[in-house]
Amino acid sequence: MYNDLRFALRQLRKNPGFTTVAVLTLALGIGSNTAVFSIVNTVLLRPLPYPAPEQLLWVWEKDQQAGSRNLLSPITFNAIRARHDVLADIGVAQGRSFNLVGGGEPERLGRSACSSNLFSIFRPPDLGQ
């Protein structure tokens, strides 16, 4: 085994072009696999940092003509909230952006609006303490 290792190192030293290509190929392969795993682990494998993340739902309205998904309108949200018997609670959050124009250069600003109970939905449950 020791002789095999010495022979391999000698061959790599004799062919620096091959050695460079082999090392770069291994580095790119290992680096890309690490990056993909990090993304998959963060997005798909780790649970959300909320109590009972498996019970959270994302609800939207589907526009039948355009085939797109839209955020819930206030009317639909209030209708679901008034007659939900399966859901423990329901909250809504909407993000929008707009252009602010005035005295200087226009600036793109973002804003978010949410229902009053949204943060209580994500609060840890009472543990009886």
Per-residue pLDDT of the chain (129 residues; tens, 9 = 90+): 899 999 988 998 999 999 999 999 999 999 999 999 999 998 888 877 777 777 777 777 787 777 777 777 778 888 888 887 777 778 877 777 888 888 888 888 888 878 777 877 777 655 544
Nearest Cα residue to 121 out of 51, 60, 71? 51
How many domains, the chain?
2
Residues 6 and 60 in one domain: no
Is 127 inside any structural domain? no
Residues 39 and 69 in one domain: no
Give the distance from CA 81 to its chain's centroid.
27
Is 129 inside any structural domain? no
Range 48-56 contact pairs with CB under 8 angstroms and sequence separation of 24 or more: 50/122, 51/122, 51/123, 51/124, 51/125, 52/125, 55/88
Residues 64 and 40 in one domain: no
| Rounded distance between C-alpha atoms, residue 74 and residue 82, angstroms | 12
Element holding 89 (H helix, E strand): none
Is 20 inside any structural domain? yes
Structural domain that includes position 101: 53-121
